[in-house]
Amino acid sequence: MKNINESFEKTYDPFKAILFYKSAKDESFYVEGYDMDFFGKPINAHPLSLQESHALSDALADSEELKQGFLQCRSILAPEVLFINSDRDGYVLWYTHSVRQNLSFKKDLSIDDGEANLPPLLWKASKQRLSLWALAKDGRPVSSSTLYYAPFFNIYQNGEVCMGNVAIEIDINSSLEGFMESWQNYFFKSAFSHLLGDSAPTKTNIVQLWQSLVSSEKPFPIKTLKKYPKTLKDLI
């Protein structure tokens, strides 16, 4: 637990108040600033100036709570990383090679749990959301690379993964490597349960596909993948 004793030894005097107004018609905001008088009461109401906005931004950026290592690399940037958006609500794009992975399925699907060979995958994740697509071949994709629907259950047609009741807890101090590993663990350690949307993500029956692949040495049949209408550059 963080030691807050030092905070009690400091004295903080009010010097500025900020009030946010939200439009009743749309999502626009109006921000008003107040100076503080000798008695700590707000005076001199005025629209928040550009200078005041910059000062607030700098103060927040320098705060201890935001001085963390979120998405910082432990060492040299991993070759699997394709793109990092470092905005507050940013995301990471990365890919994984074709691998053998343990998979779990709900009993209603009549697919045994077990290991199966997967195609190369493309991942896009923020702190709250995960999206997934498949690739036709191993190796680092480029901006014009064709994408395919991920051949799994629990994925919407836009690629976003439905995590159901899985509790997503991404640490604000998570490194880039830890962030990617966490999302992959969340995805593969949850049980696949059902299809989402009006069409299947594969050209063949997806239940029969995984019934034939689980606990076998068969490579994933790339020819069963269905082309996604966007390329890698469209995801950035």
| Residue 14: pLDDT over 90 | no
Read off the pLDDT of residues 61-99 as tens digits, 9 standing for 90 and up.
555 444 455 566 666 788 899 999 877 678 999 999 999
Domain residue limits, the chain: 5-66, 81-235
Above pLDDT 90, what percent of the chain? Answer: 55
32-37-39-41 Cα dihedral, nearest 10 degrees: -20
∠61-67-73 over CA atoms, to 5°?
A: 120
User: What is the pLDDT, as a whole number, of residue 175?
Assistant: 83
Question: What's the pLDDT band for 124 if we cut at 50, 70, 90?
Answer: very high
Cβ atoms within 10 A of the Cβ of 10, count? 6
Contact 143, 230 (CB under 8 A): no
Q: What letters, b where the CB count within 10 A reaches 16 and e where it falls short, cover 12-47?
A: eeeeeeeeeeeeeeeeeeeeebbeeeeeeebeeeee
Looking at residue 9, its pLDDT comes to: 61
In the predicted model, is pLDDT for residue 1 greater than 50? no
**Given this model, what pLDDT does residue 197 score?**
85
According to the model, what pLDDT value does residue 20 have?
A: 83
Of the two residues 69 and 135, the one the predictor is more confident about is 135
E-assigned strand segments in the chain:
16-22, 29-36, 42-47, 81-85, 91-96, 100-103, 114-117, 121-125, 130-134, 146-149, 227-231
pTM: predicted TM-score of the whole model, two decimal places = 0.72
Q: What is the pLDDT of residues 195-214, one digit of tens each?
A: 998 889 999 999 999 999 99
- pLDDT attached to residue 82: 96
> How far apart are alpha carbons 35 and 65 in whole angstroms?
26
For residue 135, is pLDDT > 50?
yes
